[in-house]
Structure 1
């Protein structure tokens, strides 16, 4: 598995976990910790996408 495929897999896994964190925040009405973690995962995934493109 080359570097690009690993980065793609990492981005997909981080996006799925971010969606899970948002769902956790919505279902259990825990507004801040899961939501902040989800946003952090999305920002990190976006950063990895930028790394891959450069």
Structure 2
């Protein structure tokens, strides 16, 4: 599977929160952001619909 990169822009407060939570979880901030985005897409059933098509 090919890996693609994206860049996101967030507010200073969101960046601080991502940094803090990532540190507590022992993850990279970019990994945490990706996981949160994937979870939100799953919650909205975007991933499931995409897999069925």
- TM-score over 0.5 for the alignment? no
- Scaled by the length of structure 1, the TM-score of the pair is 0.36
**The structure with more helix, counted as a fraction of residues:** 1
- Scaled by the length of structure 2, the TM-score of the pair is 0.36
